[in-house]
Amino acid sequence: MAAVDQIKSLIKSYVDDDEHRFFATAMQIAASEARQGHILVAQELKNIIEKARKEKSVAFLDSPKTVSINAPKRELKELIEVFKPRIDLRDMVLAPNVNDALIKLIREQKNWELLKKHNLSPRRKLLLTGLPGTGKTMTAQAIAGELGLSVYIIRLDGLMSKYLGESIAKLRMIFDAMEQHRAVYLFDEFDSIGSHRDKGQDIGEVKRVLNSFLINIEKDNSNSIIVAATNLPESLDKALFRRFDDIVNYPLPDLNQITDTIKKVTRGFSFSKKPNYKTLAQLANGLNYSEITKACEEAVKEMILSGSNKLNPLEIGMSLSKKAPLRNGQTEISKAY
């Protein structure tokens, strides 16, 4: 019989959705059974755990068994940050072109087995371009959330090494991982490796990594989703573009999308008076989603700190216009209320 603490830990890890701890505790239980001489029970437990682990494929950073690539686990940890997002597409406000591209990818991914049966490959390589704060990074999380997958964020600074050939070996490890662990692999700020091959200074290693990326992404035949995001598409090497299934441009929100964003961020709160969304949207015109989200959050903070339980639309208006003093110089918020 396992100790009460171990059972508690199992339950807690289930509640916290902490798969790593769940499996670690389960292994501890198997080990303590073995110590008590219950060899058969211990073996049975171990088998169940190994099987579940394989199916879940959660262990790739910690179990050398599942990493058949010849990599010390420390190196992978430096390269990849793993997390399980809790958002999906409904948390985002999207322009129609973006929405269409994402829905298409998700639909094909949800039916990948069916498509493969017919020798068709589902879309899975996306290049996202657009101004900062328009939702590129968030998209990788939302896709993962929709598909119940983890996001593996590739640390591009960790990838670049001054030692000859090392960056390429590391990139190879990442592409190997894609085959073994279906997930969303995010190459954020992709321009740092994807920029023009013939540009100035210490370009040697960047050039080699870019070439190697081109070769790897072309050969890649995994079931993982690759998302590369950049604010600087014009600096990308042209050879990259045709390696992706879709290139999606993220625009700034229009007036309707601004209104939807404000409604999303403030849902669940009641207002001290009915917000005039048209005016708020005009105040926010030209701001990105991130700035609008932050302005709303500032108003919520103000509400909490002032001891009120009602959100003041004027407060949102003021936060928005603080973020856009130049763009909205002429609009007077006080007129609207």
Ligand X SMILES: Nc1ncnc2c1ncn2[C@@H]1O[C@H](COP(=O)(O)OP(=O)(O)O)[C@@H](O)[C@H]1O
Contacts with ligand X by CB under 6 A lie at 92-94, 132-138, 229, 261, 289-290, 293
State which residue, 174 or 252, has the beta carbon closest to ligand X. Answer: 252
Cβ atoms within 10 Å, residue 40: 10
State which residue, 138 or 314, has the beta carbon closest to Mg ion. Answer: 138
- Residue 194 touches which member of ligand X, Mg ion, none, C-beta under 5-8 Å by kind: none
273: region left, alpha or beta (phi > 0 left; psi from -120 to 50 alpha):
beta
**Alpha-carbon separation of residue 167 from 77, 172, 231, 277 (angstroms):** 15, 9, 23, 50
Residues 186 and 189: their CA atoms lie apart, in Å, by 9
137 near Mg ion (CB under 5 A): yes
Residues 280 and 193: their CA atoms lie apart, in Å, by 39
Q: For residues 193-252, which are near Mg ion according to CB under 5 A? A: none
288 near Mg ion (CB under 5 A): no
134 near Mg ion (CB under 5 A): no
Q: Which residue is nearest to ligand X (CB)?
A: 135
Closest distance to Mg ion from the beta carbon of 142 (Å): 13
- Residue 134 touches which member of ligand X, Mg ion, none, C-beta under 5-8 Å by kind: ligand X
* Residue keyed to tokens 């989703």: 225
State which residue, 10 or 93, has the beta carbon closest to ligand X. Answer: 93
HSE (CB half, 13 Å, CA atoms) of 221? Answer: 4
Cβ atoms within 10 Å, residue 234: 9
Closest distance to Mg ion from the beta carbon of 131 (Å): 10
Q: What does the block give as tokens for 273? A: 């008076």
Is 271 within 8 Å of 312 (Cβ atoms)? yes
Closest distance to ligand X from the beta carbon of 215 (Å): 27
Closest distance to ligand X from the beta carbon of 87 (Å): 9
State which residue, 64 or 132, has the beta carbon closest to ligand X. Answer: 132
- Residue 133 touches which member of ligand X, Mg ion, none, C-beta under 5-8 Å by kind: ligand X
Is 275 within 8 Å of 313 (Cβ atoms)? yes
Under DSSP, is residue 247 helix (H, G, I), strand (E, B) or coil? Answer: strand
Q: Which of 237, 235, 244, 81 is nearest to 157 (CA)?
A: 81
Is 171 within 8 Å of 216 (Cβ atoms)? yes
State which residue, 53 or 136, has the beta carbon closest to Mg ion. Answer: 136
State which residue, 206 or 292, has the beta carbon closest to ligand X. Answer: 292
The stretch near Mg ion (CB under 5 A) out of 135-143, 195-203, 244-252, 259-267 is 135-143
State which residue, 22 or 289, has the beta carbon closest to ligand X. Answer: 289
Residue 49's φ and ψ, nearest 5 degrees, are -65, -45
Closest distance to Mg ion from the beta carbon of 231 (Å): 8
The site for Mg ion (CB under 5 A) is made up of 136-137
